[in-house]
Amino acid sequence: MANDPWSRPTMDDLKKVLDSIGKKTYVDSRAAERLDLTIPAEIVTSRGNTVAAVTREISRFGIGLLHKGAISPGDATVKMYSDSQEFKYEVKISWCQPCENGMFISGGQFLSKEPV
């Protein structure tokens, strides 16, 4: 049985992608420190499409995501899940690019400071 091409990436998928990107060899001059964060997420695009994802990193200003299938830049709602809670943020997806094994990485800026 073939895997669903829109299913949530696995932890193994995330590890392979992060390993292929490698460690950064430059000084990160961004305004906010990024934290590695790997939790289940969903991206709901402005057209209403839902894409299963996994977070890669997060900062005070934005978020990095890993998912199957390309998404177009623009406004979206990102839902993140913990064991007992769901968090929803409005995000402006700035970029999306292909990476290993048909996966895509994307990143965006939070449009609000508080969950929706």
Query: Are the CB atoms for 53 and 41 separated by under 8 Å?
Result: yes
Q: How far apart are CA 107 and CA 38, in angstroms?
A: 14
As a whole number of Å, the CA-based R_g of the chain is 14
Say whether pLDDT at 72 is over 90: yes
Going by the DSSP 8-state scheme, the letter that residue 101 receives in this structure is: G
11-21+35-110 domain in CATH 1.25.40.10?
A: no
pLDDT of amino acid 26: 43
Q: What is the pTM of this model?
A: 0.72
Write the DSSP symbol of residue 2.
P
**Burial code of 65-92, b = ≥16 C-beta within 10 A, e = fewer?**
bbbbbebeeeebbbbbeeeeeeeebbbe
On the question of pLDDT at 9 being above 50, the answer is yes
Average pLDDT over residues 7-14: 70
Q: Are strands 40-45 and 62-68 parallel, antiparallel or unpaired?
A: unpaired
